[in-house]
Amino acid sequence: MTEALPALVLFALVMSGTPGPNVLMIAAAAASHGVRATWPHNLGIAIGFGAMLFVVGLGIGAPLHANATAHAVMRWLGAAWLLWLAWKIATAPPPDTAGARPPLGFWGAAAFQWINPKAWMICAAASATHVRADAPLLPQVALIGAIFVLACIPCNWAWAAFGAAMGRWLREPARLRIFNITMALLLVVSLWAMLR
């Protein structure tokens, strides 16, 4: 696996840094609350997804993938959750008004990975392309999970920094509303691409 390590690292960085539900939620939260407030969310994504990769890689997710009905139910539950999150992002009040919601916390972000369609697709792709049949499974899935944890944190931080920078420009409520609606629409578009 060491000869394929650069490819795995690149795969982890690309998958962690490209737009999807996690990074769009981080950017939207940082626009309203700043980068520091998104750290629990960031760590929840990284550790939750790393743990998911490990568990799925060991085969616990195989029965779900083998059962087409269970897989479809999981995908559509994830889609419904993402649509609800998109609605919450689009309708979020400016941070200085009563009722502004804090970013998703550590445990919420970690649990969210299990209904995130992009996370399931990455787990399936990582297991299919980066696990060798002629090597012990446990060390391979542990390494894949660890690499994704290490890739997620800086990628999510970059998106949070982008969101926070936009947030400074978006002090005007009308601009913030447009930004939140745009981020919500991008979240819906990312969902559409994953469900096709």
Distance separating alpha carbons of residues 99 and 186, to the nearest angstrom? 24
Q: Is the Cβ–Cβ distance between 23 and 29 less than 8 Å? A: no
Distance separating alpha carbons of residues 47 and 40, to the nearest angstrom? 10
User: What is the count of structural domains for the chain?
Assistant: 1
Distance separating alpha carbons of residues 75 and 120, to the nearest angstrom? 9
Query: Which structural domain range is residue 84 located in?
Result: 2-95+102-195
Helical H segments across the chain, by residue range: 5-17, 21-33, 39-57, 62-66, 68-90, 106-112, 117-130, 137-169, 173-195
pLDDT single digits (tens) 135-180 = 788 898 999 999 999 999 999 999 999 999 987 787 777 887 887 7
pLDDT single digits (tens) 73-94 = 766 776 777 677 778 778 877 6
